[in-house]
Amino acid sequence: MDHAQQLEKQYHFQVYNRFPVTLEKGLGARVWDTNGVEYIDALAGIAVNNLGHCHPAIVSAIKEQADKLLHVSNFYYTEAQSEFIERLSYLSGLERVFLCNSGAEAMEGAIKLARKWGHQQGKTGNIISLAKGFHGRTVTTITMSSENYQEGFAPLAPGFKKAPFNDLEALEQLVDKDTVAIAFELIQGNSGVHVAEQEFVKKVRQLCDDLNILLIIDEVQTGVARTGKFWCYEHYGIKPDIVAAAKALAGGIPVGAVMAKEEIASALTYGNHGTTFGGNPFACAVGNACLKTIQKENMVEQAAEKGEYMMDQIRQKTAGSDKVVDVRGLGLMIGVELTVPGRPVVEKMFEQRVLSNAAGGNVLRIVPPLVISQQDIDNVVDVLAESL
């Protein structure tokens, strides 16, 4: 155990089951520890470093903005913020944007907006989420998430119900004209990369339209080109009423966003919501550089092509294994479901210098930087198969 690890054990809340390595630097899809050992990063900071580590555009934006202005609060305008919200509105097709610092904050903002809108509509009903989802670590967002995140934190927030994933009939039993919103991820990352079915999503959109219910899509993990579309909802041909995003929006710098239709966003007025750090010029400048680069370097197309190739390679290389149940996902958000626990496989991959993750107990979650090379994809797949 090195000095950094000793200090963490002594001072940090012991809430993370960390791997015994202290990382020091990164470049592209590679990272190095303090002993100079090199790893392929197939986790990307949990789908954050979509442009990889130390991308020149991100590094340049950080340096340039650090020399100018870091923070002023939202009592004032900054060019970086105004440009960032314009870009997010254009990319999402939603007219209004609120900036915050994380995915949990974005979901909290989306729920708060939905509640206020609901009150104006005379609605006092529930917000419905889907079972086995994950929306953050606040009391409200764990209420919406899987039960294993809730133990020991009661009483939970009232006004929430859950329906099974991909089960329209069960969802219809829970909603009525008093229901405020339906909120879910199109790919449930933390519970094992479960993909929403096309027919289910389209019928949920229609259900929301029929009963004047808001459709909130959590794009925190799926957004910013990860799935082979800029937003995952583009795969389904729908337009949400509210979208929550974060993670990859600024290439590793914390930023979150709530995007909403004009007629819904207008429910919040002066003093209804706010943030000290959200939308600071530093995060927004880096976010602008990130989103420009995602488009300039065709990351959407790259994620789609590399993801299809990687899933095909995993299927081929594990075809003879009785441990693999399914390989699924969209773009470079990939789940490999196993008949055995995932963590020991992840530990074997770590021993062979590949960083990965287990989700939902028995699923390997593969979410590498979108800039990963074909050679590194091949290496990851070989290590995965050998580790199994």
Catalytic positions, please? 134, 218, 247
- φ/ψ of 44, rounded to 5, equals 55, 45
Segment holding 195, helix H or strand E: strand 194-195
Closest CA to 49 of 381, 380, 370, 374: 370
d(CA 276, CA 273): 11
Cβ 210 vs Cβ 233: under 8 Å: no
Category of 354 on φ-ψ map: left (φ > 0), alpha (ψ -120 to 50) or beta: beta
- Please enumerate in sequence order all residues whose Cβ is within 8 A of that of 210, keeping only pairs 6 or more positions apart, or say none: none
Q: Is 33 helix (H, G, I), strand (E, B) or coil?
A: strand
d(CA 175, CA 170): 9
Dihedral of CA 237/243/244/248: which sign? positive
Number of H helices, E strands in the chain: 13, 17
Task: From residue 383, give the alpha-carbon distance in Å to each of 32, 200, 379, 386.
Answer: 18, 36, 6, 5
Residue recorded with tokens 């459709």: 215
Tokens of 1: 């155990």
Identify whether 155 is preceded by a cis peptide bond (ω within 30 of 0): yes
Cβ 91 vs Cβ 84: under 8 Å: no
Q: How many CA atoms lie within 13 A of 95 on its CB side?
A: 6
Pairing of the two strands 96-100 and 30-33:
unpaired
What is the b/e burial string over 234-261, where b = at least 16 CB atoms within 10 angstroms of the residue's CB? bbbebbbbbbbbbbbbbbbbbbbbbbbb
Tokens of 197: 């079915």
